[in-house]
């Protein structure tokens, strides 16, 4: 049976790659982002039915409209992927109010709106899957130029875990997953607030090698088939996180010496 999957931030990067991978697997898609033309180009490349919704996910009403469009067209939703996000390249002491406000709006509130919009539908059906695309930096904040982005993703990790624990007790058929990519070869950093161009590969201060968005998409697609609470897309990330929490001081000292 074809799954109905909603993807926010679907116009480029990881979101677009997830859409192509799920479309290749036969899932029916609702693709949401602010850029209509990019969404329509993406939808034209996907072999399965794909519906475009132009929306700004920092607005609750827009997120609810995405849900309503999906239900109107397909009758139900099986998977909701909160993928929209934006970075910032400014150290803590240089952050402005606007920097922090946008990081919270795009990386936290948009996902919160998505969870609140779709969870009642999943609870009513008794099953469904919410997937929040976070970041390794939300678990291990070792890239100081991405300070507010890391903080926002840490907040998203916490909200996701709290919702998962709540639903496990009352609706065990509803899965809630956190996906934490590390370095991914997209133009994400280039479009970050305060960016002057692509971020160099070693900017996070770790030996982690970049993944392609297509590799991340395959991992997310497999997660839908085999739900897990949390998932690092790069095997090196779990090892680095373990080292970080084992001795934060030593890890930060080692990381700083490589910059």
Nearest-angstrom CA–CA distance, 160 and 147: 20
DSSP letter for each residue of 46-94: -SS-EEEEE--TTSHHHHHHHHHHHHHHHS--SEEEE-----B-B-GGG
Spatial contact of 98 and 105, defined as CB atoms under 8 Å apart: no
Sequence-distant (≥ 6) Cβ neighbours of residue 10 within 8 angstroms:
16, 18, 19, 29, 31, 32, 33, 39, 42, 83
Contact 77, 70 (CB under 8 A): yes
Catalytic residues: 149
Bridge partners, residue 177, by sequence = 131
Does residue 182 contact residue 237 with C-beta atoms inside 8 Å? yes
């Amino acid at each position: 049976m074809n799954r109905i999957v909603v993807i926010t931030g679907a116009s480029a990067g990881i979101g677009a790659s997830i859409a192509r991978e799920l479309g290749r697997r036969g899932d029916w898609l609702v693709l949401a982002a602010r850029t209509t033309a990019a969404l329509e180009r993406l939808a034209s490349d996907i072999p399965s039915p794909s519906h475009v919704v132009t929306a700004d996910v920092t607005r609750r009403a827009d997120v609810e409209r995405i849900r309503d469009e999906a239900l109107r067209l397909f009758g139900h939703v099986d998977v909701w992927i909160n993928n929209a996000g934006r970075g910032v390249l400014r150290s803590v002491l240089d952050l402005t109010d606007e920097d922090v406000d946008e990081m919270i709006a795009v990386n936290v509130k948009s996902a919160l709106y998505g969870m609140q919009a779709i969870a009642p539908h999943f609870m009513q059906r008794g099953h469904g899957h919410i997937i929040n695309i976070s970041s390794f930096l939300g678990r291990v904040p070792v890239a100081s130029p991405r300070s507010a982005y890391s903080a926002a993703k840490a907040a998203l990790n916490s909200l996701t875990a709290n919702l998962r624990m709540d639903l496990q007790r009352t609706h065990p058929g509803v899965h809630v997953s956190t996906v934490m990519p590390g370095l991914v070869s997209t133009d994400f950093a280039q479009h970050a607030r305060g960016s002057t161009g692509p971020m160099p590969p070693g900017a996070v201060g770790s030996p982690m090698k970049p993944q392609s968005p297509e590799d991340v998409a395959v991992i997310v697609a497999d997660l839908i088939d085999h739900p897990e609470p949390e998932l690092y897309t790069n095997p090196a990330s779990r090892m680095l996180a373990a080292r970080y929490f084992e001795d934060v001081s030593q890890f930060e000292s080692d990381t700083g010496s490589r910059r």
